[in-house]
Amino acid sequence: MRLILITLLMSVSLTALSQRSVLQTQLIDNSQTLSIRINGNVDGRKIQYNQTFDVAYMNDLQKDLLKYRVFESQGVSLPLHEMTRLILAVLTGLVLIITLGIVSYRIRKPRHSTS
């Protein structure tokens, strides 16, 4: 009886894991248009997305932000290799904020004289 129960639980858990996420993504950027295709299943939900955007007047960061918004709207995270510029922009912003904080703290901090 225990063996049957363990076998049943293992088969149910393996089935659940195998159906969790099967996703195919395709991003094509030819500098004029950006085509995004997302097909598959995520957590039992079917996703079919196929859209082309005019990106002729967008810079690379704007294109990355567009990709991020599309994937987010579908409830899917953008592949990490597609977010390098976004990650660099966020890290650069954090470094600037920290640097400005340190500089403003040092300017406001009273100096002790040794005379």
Can you give the pLDDT at residue 43?
Answer: 82
Can you give the pLDDT at residue 16?
Answer: 52
Q: What type of residue sits at position 52? A: T
**Quick check: is 74 in a domain?**
yes
> pLDDT (tens digit, 0 to 9) for every residue of the chain, 115 residues total?
666 656 656 665 555 555 567 888 889 999 899 999 999 988 888 999 999 999 999 998 899 899 999 999 998 888 877 778 788 888 899 999 999 988 888 888 776 666 5
Can you give the pLDDT at residue 51?
Answer: 95
**Quick check: is 98 in a domain?**
yes
Which 8-state DSSP code applies to residue 114? -
**Quick check: is 96 in a domain?**
yes
How many Cα atoms are found within 13 Å in the side-chain-facing hemisphere of 86?
14
**Quick check: is 56 in a domain?**
yes
The number of folded domains in the chain is: 1
Q: How far apart are CA 77 and CA 21, in angstroms?
A: 12
Residue-range definition of the domain harbouring residue 88 = 20-108
**Quick check: is 10 in a domain?**
no
